[in-house]
Chains A and B, each alone.
Chain A
Amino acid sequence: DAKTTQPNSMESNEEEPVHLPCNHSTISGTDYIHWYRQLPSQGPEYVIHGLTSNVNNRMASLAIAEDRKSSTLILHRATLRDAAVYYCIRANSKLTFGKGITLSVRP
Chain B
Amino acid sequence: DGGITQSPKYLFRKEGQNVTLSCEQNLNHDAMYWYRQDPGQGLRLIYYSQIVNDFQKGDIAEGYSVSREKKESFPLTVTSAQKNPTAFYLCASSIWGVNTEAFFGQGTRLTVV
Residues of A at under 8 Å CB distance from B? Answer: 1-2, 30-32, 34, 36, 41-46, 49, 51, 87, 91-100
Contact = CB atoms under 8 A, between A and B. Distances in A.
13 contacts: A30-B98, A41-B107, A43-B106, A43-B107, A44-B92, A44-B102, A44-B104, A87-B42, A91-B98, A92-B98, A94-B48, A95-B45, A95-B102
B99 A95 contact: no
B72 to A, nearest CB: 18
A92 to B, nearest CB: 6
B104 A49 contact: no
Interface in B1-59: 33, 35, 40-45, 48, 58-59
A46 B103 CA distance: 7
Given A46-B102, A49-B99, A87-B43, 6 more contacts: A32-B99, A43-B105, A44-B90, A45-B104, A46-B103, A94-B58
Contacts, number: 57
Which among A32, A44, A87, A92 has the greatest number of chain B C-beta atoms within 10 A? A44
Contacts of B44: 97
A43 B6 CA distance: 10
A90 B62 CA distance: 24
Contacts of B107: 41-43
Interface string B68-96: 00000000000000000000101010000
Contacts of B104: 43-45
B33 to A, nearest CB: 7
A43 B58 CA distance: 19
Contacts of A97: 35, 42-44
